[in-house]
Amino acid sequence: MMGIYWNSFAEFLAMGHHGIYVWGAAGVMALAMILEPLLLVRGQRALVARLQSQFRAESRDNSGERSADRPVPFEGQH
């Protein structure tokens, strides 16, 4: 069985002159794995804030009398 051995840590980092590609790919992947959950949480917070704002606006609209040009939803519609 063939193993991979390096004579020094510098050779390990160089990865046989392919280190820039190997470590660059590892860095990009690590960055993506860190940013993904952060961006998802940020998007979820923005969505919740937008929906709360929309709900408050619709609640204010529905608290007064309905205008004649706006249709009234039927019982099964939410």
| Mean of pLDDT over the chain | 85
3-class SS of residue 18: coil
pLDDT grade, residue 62 (50/70/90)? confident
What percentage of residues in the chain have a pLDDT greater than 90? 51
pLDDT at 60 over 90: no
pLDDT grade, residue 31 (50/70/90)? very high
pLDDT of the residue at 63: 79
Q: Which residue has the tokens 């529905």?
A: 62
pTM (predicted TM-score):
0.56
Q: Which residue has the tokens 């619709």?
A: 58
Contact predicate 43/36, CB 8 Å: no
In a 10 Å sphere around its CB, with 0-12 CB exposed, 13-18 middle and 19+ buried, how is residue 14 labelled? middle
Contact predicate 66/72, CB 8 Å: yes
